[in-house]
Amino acid sequence: MSAKKLGLKQRYALMTRGLDWETSYQPMDKVFPYDTFEGIKIKDWSAWEDPFRLTMDNYWKFQAEKERKLYAVLDSFAQNNGQTGLSDARYVNAIKLFLTGVSPLEYQAHRGFAHAGRHLRGVGPRIAAQMQSLDELRHAQTQIHTISHYNKFFDGFHEFRHMHDRVWYLSVPKSFFDDARSAGPFEYMVAIGFAFEYVLTNLLFVPFMSGAAYNGDLATVTFGFSAQSDESRHMTLGIEVIKFLLEQHPDNLPIVQKWVDKWFWRGHRVLGLVAMMMDYMLPKRVMSWKEAWEIYFTQAGGALFQDLERYGLRVPKYADIATEEAEHISHQNWAIFYQYTHAAGFHTWMPKPDEMDWLSEKYPNTFDKYYRPRFEMWAEMEKKGERFYNNGLPQLCTTCQIPMGYTEPGDPTTICFRTSEYKGDTYHFCSDGCKDIFDDEPEKFSQSWLPVHQIFQGNCGGATVPDVLDWYKLNVGADNMDYAGSPDEKIWKAWEAAKKSQGPARTEDARTEDAGAKTAAE
C-alpha cells in the first residue's frame, strides 16, 4: 500500500469529474441532443451532488464480491436439492410471476440507464446511470440464472422471455417500462430512478424477499438481497435527480411534479401484482401488503415528501386513493387471476380456511365484508365440480392494461369506470389516475398494444383461447389451471412422501429422474 492515501472525496473527484471533457470536434448540443426537448432547464451540471462516492475500481471490487457470495449460495442450493425444502410448492408460482414479469424489467432498466447515461450532459449523473445500467444487467442475469434451477422441476418457466412480450397480464409490467424508455432521459430518470426505485421498489424487494427466506427459498432471497444492495445506490441516484432538477430552475417544478404523479400511479398499479404475491402466493407470510404499504409508503414516503416540501414538491396526486386501495388490491387481483387461470402461466387456488383467517385478521375492514363470501362460494363451487371460469375476455384499462376489475374509491361494490374521447374513439380507464395520464399524452397512449384488442384483431395466433395460448407457448394442462391436480403438485407430493419414508423420491414423473441423471452426468 502506498504511503499517502487520498481521501474518499478527493479520490472520487479525480476518478469522475476529473475524467470529463468538453467536446470540441462537435458542439455539446449535438453530442447530447436529448436533454433539452422535455423543457427541463439546467444552468449548472457541476452542481450535481454525488452522495455515494463510489468509483469504478471499487464498484468492480464490491460487485465481484457480491457475485461470489451469490453463486456460492446458488451452487449449494442446487447441490442440496433446495427446492425440496420449500414451505410448499404453491410458493413457486410467485417465482414464475417474478421471472416472467419482473426479470425482463431488469433488462429493460439496463437498457434505459445505458441510454440515460449516454445522454445526460453532466458527468456525475452519467457515471451513476452507467453503474446502474451494469447493475440492472447483473440483476437480470442473476435472476434468470437462479430461477433456472426451478425450471428443472416445475412448469411455467420455460418461455419466460417469449411470454413477457405476449401474455395479457405481462403487458402490465412490460408497457410500464416501454412507456418509461420511450420518454426523454429526464422523465426516465424520474420515472425509474425516483418514483420506482425510491418510492416503490422496497415494497417488492424487502418484504417479498424476506418472504422468500421465510418460505425456504434460499436462492431467491440471496439474489433478491444481492440486487437490493445495489438498489440503495439507485435510490440515492433517484432522490438526487429530483433535488438537482428542482434546484436548477423553478420552471422545472411543474414538469417534475407531473412526472412524479404519473409514475407513482403507474408504479402503484404494477405493484398490485406484488400485493397479490405477498397476500396470496406465499404459503408462509411475513407481513400483509397493507402493512408493507404502511411501512414503505405511508411512513417512508411520508418522510421523503416532507423533505421535498422545501422545493415545493407535494405528495403524488392520488396517494390517498392508493392507500385506500391497499385494503383491496391484492384480493381484487387474485380474484381476476383465479377467474382466468386457464389463460395464466402459473397456478391459482382458493386460500385454505386458516389462510382466509389470516386475511381477515390483516384486513379487518375489508376481507370478511367484501372478499371472503366470494372466495368461499368459489371454493364451494370447486367442491361440487363447478369450478368457476370467466370465459369472456376482459375490458382493459388503456393506461395500465389491467382488466377493469377495480372498484370506486369509497365504494368497494361498484366497478370504477372512466372514459376519454380522442380523435373519435373512446378509451377506457380503471381509475382517475390512469385517465389523467392518458389525457395528458393521448397520442402516446392511444397507440398502446392492448392484449385483448390484439386478440380480437386477430394478431395473437387465432380466434379461440387455445390458439392464443399456443401463440403464448403456454403448455396447456401443465403451466395453467389450478395448483390442485397440476404436475407441480404431483412432484411436490412425491417429494413430501419420500421425506416421510426417508427413502429416495419415487415418482412416475420423468422430471425427477431427468434431474437425477443430469446431476450424475455433471
Partner 1 sequence: MTQYASITLQNTDDARPIIEAILADNTDVQVLNMPGAVKLDRDHRIVVNRASVEERIGRSWDPQELHLVLISMAGNVDEDDDYFALEWKK
Q: Pick the closer one to partner 1 by CB: 231 or 488.
A: 231
Figure out which of the listed residues 18, 33, 51, 466 binds partner 1, where binding follows CB under 8 A. Answer: 51
Whole-number Cα distances in Å, 217 to 276, 294, 348, 363, 460: 18, 26, 20, 26, 35
Residue 195 sits in the site that holds partner 1 (CB under 8 A): no
What whole-number distance in Å separates Cα of residue 506 and Cα of residue 375? 35
We find the least distance from the C-beta atom of residue 288 to partner 1, in angstroms, to be 13
Q: Shortest approach of partner 1 to residue 1 CB, angstroms?
A: 11
Note whether 231 binds partner 1 by CB under 8 A: yes
Distance CA 173, CA 273 (A): 9
Shortest CB 176 distance to partner 1, Å: 21
Instruction: Choose, by CB under 8 A, the member of 32, 34, 205, 311 that binds partner 1.
Output: 205
Q: Contact between 121 and partner 1 (CB under 8 A)? A: no
Query: Which of 32, 34, 45, 52 touches partner 1 by CB under 8 A?
Result: 52
Q: Residues 96-130, buried b or exposed e (16+ Cβ, 10 A)? A: bbbbbbbbbbbbbbbebbbbbbebbbbbbbbbbbb
Asked whether position 220 contacts partner 1 by CB under 8 A, the answer is no
Question: Residue 174, class by beta-carbon neighbours within 10 Å (0-12 exposed, 13-18 middle, 19+ buried)?
Answer: buried
E strands in 294-430: 407-408, 411-415, 418-422, 425-429
Site string for partner 1, 66-95 (x = CB under 8 A): x--x--------------------------
Q: Which is nearer to partner 1, 81 or 298 (CB)?
A: 298
For the chain, percent helix, then strand, then coil, each to nearest 5? 65, 5, 30
Nearest distance, CB of residue 160 and partner 1, angstroms: 25
Give the integer Cα–Cα distance in Å for 172 and 275: 14
CA 505: distance to chain centroid? 35
Q: Which of 23, 80, 182, 306 binds partner 1 (CB under 8 A)?
A: 306
What's the N-to-C CA distance of the chain in angstroms?
43
Question: b or e along 332-341 (b: 16 or more beta carbons within 10 Å of the residue's beta carbon)?
Answer: bbbbbbbbbb
Q: Which stretch binds partner 1 (CB under 8 A): 267-275, 299-307, 472-480, 496-504?
A: 299-307
| CB distance 187 to 177 below 8 Å | no
State which residue, 190 or 199, has the beta carbon closest to partner 1: 199
Piece of the chain touching partner 1 by CB under 8 A; list 48-56, 95-103, 395-403, 417-425: 48-56
Nearer to partner 1, 40 or 221 (CB): 221
| Nearest C-alpha neighbor of 275 from the set 362, 374, 191, 151 | 362
Specify the DSSP element, H or E, that contains 138.
helix 123-151
Among 19, 72, 303, 484, the residue binding partner 1 under the rule CB under 8 A is: 303
Q: How far is the CB of 3 from partner 1 (least distance, A)?
A: 16
Shortest Cβ distance from residue 98 to partner 1 (Å)? 16
- What span, in angstroms and rounded, lies between the C-alpha atoms of 459 and 334? 27
Residues 6+ apart with CB under 8 A from 19: 123
Identify which of residues 16 and 202 has a Cβ nearer to partner 1 in the complex.
202
What is the nearest approach in angstroms of partner 1 to the Cβ of residue 70? 11
Of 202 and 333, which has the nearer Cβ to partner 1?
202
Angle at 144 between CA 197 and CA 265, to 5 degrees: 30
Which candidate, 440, 31, 43, places its Cα nearest to that of 245? 43
The residue within the footprint of partner 1, chosen from 29, 75, 165, 307 (CB under 8 A), is 307
Decide if residue 14 touches partner 1 (CB under 8 A).
Answer: no
Closest CA to 268 of 430, 438, 103, 92: 430
User: Is 320 near partner 1 (CB under 8 A)?
Assistant: no
Q: State which of residues 80, 182, 232, 459 lies at the interface with partner 1 (CB under 8 A).
A: 232
User: Could you say whether residue 225 binds partner 1 (CB under 8 A)?
Assistant: yes
**Out of 214, 358, 378, 422, the residue judged to bind partner 1 by CB under 8 A:** 214
Binds partner 1 by CB under 8 A, chosen from 104, 156, 211, 403: 211
Q: How many residues bind partner 1 (CB under 8 A)?
A: 41
Confirm or reject binding of residue 293 to partner 1 (CB under 8 A). Answer: no
Q: C-beta of 59: minimal distance to partner 1 in Å?
A: 9
- List the one residue out of 432, 427, 436 whose CA is nearest residue 416: 432
160 touching partner 1, by CB under 8 A: no
Closest by Cα among 61, 20, 38 to 116: 38
For residue 65, the tally of other CB atoms under 10 A from its CB is 10
Give the interface with partner 1 as residue ranges (CB under 8 A): 7-9, 51-54, 58, 62, 65-66, 69, 202, 205-207, 209-211, 213-214, 221, 225, 228-229, 231-233, 235-236, 239, 286-287, 295, 299-300, 302-304, 306-307
